[in-house]
Amino acid sequence: MRYWLMKSEPSDVSIDDLANLPNQSVAWYGVRNYQARNFMRDQMHIGDGVLFYHSNCKEPGITGIARVSSSAYPDAKQFDKNSKYFDPKATQETPRWFNVDVQLVKKTNLISLAELRNHPELEHMRTLQRGNRLSITPLDPAEWKFITGQLVRN
């Protein structure tokens, strides 16, 4: 089992949106970074743990715990000419972009970026490193254990 931090802009899909979706599950669409894509396509497995993180908002941070609930499959938005995620180089035979489904386990109180930075146990957490802008990053099992055991309060 692996652990991941996955960023979503709450104006697109928030933790509350996820909680209100059928089966509390969403396709993690729109990833257009090759490294993040490769994490989904090559390394994520059903049951992997996910920290759901709100980004590009007033107060970024972890807002819930989720799990990967599907294997990777082609992102349909890459084929939709009306989508901002359309990719003219992608074909049905050779898709370039992939999704996994993510299912809510538990909504949490916000664990802000500032709070995460206050814990020496998380000093090597990839999301907290200077210049990191990836929407999906792996978590060390010790980071997962610390965050889910020490910081999650509800």
List pLDDT tens digits, range 141-151.
Answer: 999 999 999 88
Residue 66, domain member (yes or no): yes
CATH number, domain with residue 13: 3.10.590.10
Q: How many whole angstroms separate alpha carbon 68 and alpha carbon 40?
A: 10
Q: Which range marks the domain in which residue 10 is found? A: 3-140
Q: Which two tokens stand for residue 26?
A: 């969403």
Closest CA to 7 of 47, 66, 48: 66
pLDDT digits (tens, 9 = 90+) for 76-117: 999 999 999 999 999 999 999 999 999 999 999 999 999 999
Residues of the chain above pLDDT 90, percent: 92
Number of domains, the chain: 1
Residue 149, domain member (yes or no): no
Residue 73: which residues within 8 A CB-CB, separation 6 or more?
98, 99, 100
Residue 150, domain member (yes or no): no
